Every structure is written in C-alpha cells, then in structure tokens.
Amino acid sequence: MGQVFTSFQIETGNFTGPDSSVGGDRNLYLSNFDVSFLYRFNHYSISVIISNLLDKDKLEFSTGEPLILRRYSIYNSYIFNRFSSNFEIEPSILVEYFESDKRSRTDMNLKLRKRTNNGYNWVGVSYNFLNDQFLKPNSVAPIVGLKRNNFYVSYGFGINTNKIQNFNVGSHMITLGFDFEKKQSLARCTQKYYIF
C-alpha cells in the first residue's frame, strides 16, 4: 500500500475571457492511496494495482471533472530462455481500466535481451490501444536499452498513430537506472529465475 500527496495551484489573476469567472486563486492539497500485489513464480509474474482509492472532494471541484479517480491495472509477463544461453524473450501485457468513464486500454510489449560480458543489451516494441479499438493503435514504440554492471539506460520513441499525430508526432522516453548493492534476500519470491 502506498500513499500519494498532490499539491495543485492555479493563479487566476491574469485570466481573461470565459475563464476569468473562476474567481480567485486556488490551492489544493490532496492525499490518496494505492494498493498493489505482485506474484512471481519462476519465469512468470503478475501484478495487480488499484490506484487512487479515494474519490475527489466534490466541494473543491465543480468544473465537471470526474470525482472517481480509481484505476485498475493488471500486468503479466513471462520470460522464455530455454532456447539459448545468451538470449531471453519477454512478452508482457498491461491492461488498465478507469472507473470514472469505463474506458480501458492495453499495452502489448515484446522484449529481446542478449547477454554481454558485464550485462545485457535489449530491443523491444510496445503496441498501445484502447480496448474497443484493437486494430487502431494509439501508439507504437520501438525501444532500445542496455545494462552495464549496475547501470541501466534505455531510449524509446512513441509514434502516435491516431488523430493526434496532426499536432504531435510522438514522444521521447529516456530511462536511467542504477542498482545499489544490497545483500540478496533468501526469500524465494525475490530470487531471479532468468539467466541475467
């Protein structure tokens, strides 16, 4: 379980036109909770996350914004590594459902990792779509990355394939990471069952 704090501020002093009737600056401090569950066995993993358990305060928001913020997410992955000692293939899927407007979306992903002397290189692709529009993707993202010792870096480019592409071609994604040396737990659920 995790707690999230959000600070939100709007300064309305310079508003003109139809927005000028908002009336005064707004400062909001909100708190919410997430609950998550992770199960991993050998090469398979599944996680379930419920985000934003609490509804918004109706008195603070009278602009038609949704008061129900809950989002349900399920993530599944499996690592195939029996065909080679130097390669892994990891397909995964993420499904999200938004309670406020009943919409849902899916990310289908495929990642190929190759072992190196001090880490691995990988390439992947992500296919994102609304669940009622499977053959009309929102975006397709090729991704590349590497791990060297305890350092990770990856780059992806999400290519918009829907109507928004007239205004926004896509988005760049850069990820940096570092593994801190810690004593490995003896608990079975924390053990790595993949080759690297």
pLDDT above 70 for 191 = no
pLDDT at 180: 82
Tell me the two tokens of residue 6: 């959000």
144-178 confidence digits (pLDDT tens): 999 999 899 999 998 888 765 566 677 888 999 99
Confidence of residue 190 (pLDDT cuts 50, 70, 90): low
pLDDT at 32: 80
Q: Are 24 and 10 in contact (CB under 8 A)?
A: no
Residues 6+ positions from 86 with CB-CB distance below 8 Å? 114, 115
> How long, in residues, is the chain?
196
Mean pLDDT of the chain: 81
Percent of the chain residues past pLDDT 70, beyond the cut: 68
- CATH number for the domain formed by residue range(s) 2-15+25-190: 2.40.160
Q: What is the arithmetic mean of pLDDT over 77-83?
A: 90
pLDDT at 55: 79
- Sign of torsion, CA 85 193 182 49? positive
Domain boundaries, the chain: 2-15+25-190
Full-model pTM? 0.72
pLDDT above 70 for 122 = yes
pLDDT above 70 for 24 = no
**Which stretch of 10-24, 61-75, 138-152, 157-171 has the lowest confidence by average pLDDT?**
10-24
- For 148-151, the CB contacts below 8 A with 24+ separation are 148/116, 148/118, 148/119, 149/118, 149/119, 150/178, 150/179, 150/180, 150/181, 151/177, 151/178, 151/179
pLDDT at 189: 60
Can you tell me the distance from the alpha carbon of 170 to that of 196, in angstroms, rounded to the nearest whole number?
32
